[in-house]
Amino acid sequence: MESIAPTRKTVRKRSLRDRITASKRRMQLTALLERSINGLLFIVASSSVLAVLFIFVFIFREAIPFFREEGFTEFLTGVNWFPSNVSPEFGALALFYGSAMVTLGATLVAAPLGLIVALFLSDVVPFSVRQVVKPVVELLAAVPSVVYGFFALVVFAPLLQSHGGILLAAGAAIIVIPAGVILSTVGADAATNWIPESGGKAARTTLLVLFLAGTAFLTFIMFRALMGIEVVSGTNALNVAIILGIMAIPTVVSVSEDSLTAVGRTLREASYSLGATRAETLLKVVVPAAKSGILAAIVLGVMRAAGETMVVWMASGNASKIPSPFYNFLEPVRTITATIAGEMGEADQVTGASRYSVLFALAVVLLLFVFVCNLVSEWSAQRVAHRARARRVATRRHKQC
Amino acid sequence: MRNRFYISFLAALSAAVILGIFAAGSSAFAATTIVMDGSTTVGPIAKAFAEYYMRTHPGVNITVSESGSGNGVKSLLNNKCDIANLSRFMKPEEFSACSSKGIMPVAHTIAMDGVAPIVHPSNGVKAITLKQLKAIYTGDITNWKELGGPDMKIVVISRDTNSGTYETFEKKVMNKDKMASDVEYVGSNGAVRQRVQSTQAAIGYVGLGFVDRTVKSLPVNGVAATRKTIQAGTYPIARPLYMFTNGYPQLGSHVHALVTMHYSEKGQEIIESLGFVPVTNY
């Protein structure tokens, strides 16, 4: 026993030292590996940044000859777009207007619908239903845009022409009726609060009925006006706005649902425990808390709509003029993206320098628009985050006092 | 550090190998692959020719793209295609660009095409003159009742400026005048027909090959767009369709067989079946 014990000890010591050196070596190796992987990842990451930079540089470089030759005034303020004519004109204002109009319309479709679906999925339906429905909604994003375009051209445009009034009225009903009910409820509530001596239930109900009747009357008038509308050409701004809106919905739903879920149980439970209803919890707690995420979702959706080409090229009519009156969504419009796609084939450096470089000038405008959009969303998201943090700190200080 | 070198070396090596495979592959296929590119109007003819030729000559691979006449010239200019399909003649600038690159474009007139104005079948208007057609597209006539039709605002549909059909129409009808700003532009002959057959108040124009029962083609200046009138040259909006090659192709080569197929009985049959007008009368 005694003779064995010390040898055992030395073996143990040696192995310990060995192990230490071995682990040191291993650490060095892992450090090296880590550094090399870091370097590789840095190259990959910076290559995507470089790609963006290259796109900017290339597009600006190709656009400069146009501005040098034709100047800015006609391009930015003219509405005559005849790049292929013998005496070409490059007034692109109508194209900007068309793009803005279609994007705005798509946002008006996608933002409310997407937000409602996201709220519904995150807070109303059971979790198991959400697990099924959300992927299905996201599947909408997997449909190729040319399929949407084909649908818009072959199915939706003729439908708009033959049943335009009814469709418009039905579409308006989907938006106006729930909005009217909610607004009149809120309005009645607010009004009862404003009237100091009452505050009784009776006053509230009568006001609610009055408000509802008012909105019903207004809706009725609007419906009659809409039913009378005849859509001459089905390939118009409305068609494209609706289809683009549908295309943007999965983005809006997916991102905003994520941010709504991220608000967490504690805030919701706190709200419920204070006696808030589900509607109050949703509108006054969950949505404000997820504001920045929702904004990001909407901006992402908007950018999808602004950059879409195929659907617009197939179904917007591509008439390069500002609709009259300017809010008339039933007239064909032409967007920047569709123009670039449509003119590219014939516009060669060989055959016409301005006709070619004007497309890059258009691309610059589009790029700047999307860039500004992105900046605004980043800025506002940051601001929201800052304000939230500031408020939290302030309340904590208040408590400490 | 050594690891990083290894990785970059490996990456470079694999890239070189992949590039090598691509280069070898493309050179191996080049011998039997013929590329045709250009007009969407000539496209169906080229496709039918290619299909027939590949069936009778196994081992020959022909690809046909339809990217517009202008793109066809661009492909020929850059040596990206063997045959450029054009629905208009090559422009002087394009010719000079080609010759400055050492390419000698040779035209082969393979068929004739009439551009027919089409309206919805329910439209009461029975005929139209070139002047009226021009007035519709410049925006001087905006309602069908000015032409003796129903009281409907005309929905004017044009091919996009990218197409040879547009250029022929512009040349033969518009006479260098500009189209009105509310003219709708559509990306293909099929899409024009689709828009017209589904829109009561629409007018559009397509190649004769795209006129069918779902739309009504209007006689222009009293002459209907038919095979006879187009061959005789009496129909006003007609044009030849071309295939362009770099120099006259070597006799007996595959390319030569393709650009002369329209002289054969089979070629005439194909052109007729597609609704175009052949140059031969067997």
Highest mean pLDDT among A72-81, A170-179, A203-212, B243-252: B243-252
Tens digits of residue pLDDT in A219-254: 888 888 888 888 888 888 999 999 999 999 999 999
Check the CA dihedral B272-B275-B280-B282 and report its sign: positive
User: Beta-carbon neighbour count of residue B81 at 10 Å?
Assistant: 26
pLDDT confidence band for A387 (50 / 70 / 90) = low
Asked if B185 and A40 come within 8 Å (Cβ–Cβ), the reply is: no
Write the residue in A33, A161, A314 that is nearest to B199 by C-beta.
A161
Residue B16 has pLDDT above 70, yes or no: no
In a mutagenesis test of the B interface, which of A37, A232, A312 is the best target, namely the one with the most B β-carbons within 10 Å?
A232
Phi and psi, residue B274, nearest 5°: -90, 0
Q: Check if B54 contacts A (Cβ < 8 Å).
A: no
pTM for the predicted model, two decimal places: 0.74
Dig out the tokens for A28 from the structure.
């060095």
Q: Which residues of A touch B191 (CB under 8 A)?
A: 153, 314
Comparing C-alpha atoms, which of B187, B96, B243, B166 is closest to residue A351?
B96
Tens digits of residue pLDDT in A292-348: 888 888 988 888 888 899 899 988 888 888 888 888 888 899 999 999 888 876 665
Helices (H), A71-200: 73-77, 93-119, 127-139, 145-151, 157-194
pLDDT at A20: 84
Write the residue in B3, B191, B198 that is nearest to A32 by C-beta.
B3
Tens digits of residue pLDDT in B32-48: 799 999 887 788 899 99
Asked if B161 and A346 come within 8 Å (Cβ–Cβ), the reply is: yes
Place of tokens 């009281």: B151
Asked if B182 and A319 come within 8 Å (Cβ–Cβ), the reply is: yes
The torsion region of residue B59 among left (phi > 0), alpha (psi -120 to 50) and beta comes to left
pLDDT at B26: 45
CA distance B280 to chain A (A): 31
Residue A76 has pLDDT above 70, yes or no: yes
Place of tokens 């106006």: A176
pLDDT at A2: 47
pLDDT at B280: 85
Check the CA dihedral B118-B120-B121-B127 and report its sign: negative
The verdict on whether omega for the bond into residue A178 sits within 30 degrees of 0, i.e. cis, is no
Q: Which residues of B touch A84 (CB under 8 A)?
A: 161
Q: Which residues of B touch A310 (CB under 8 A)?
A: none
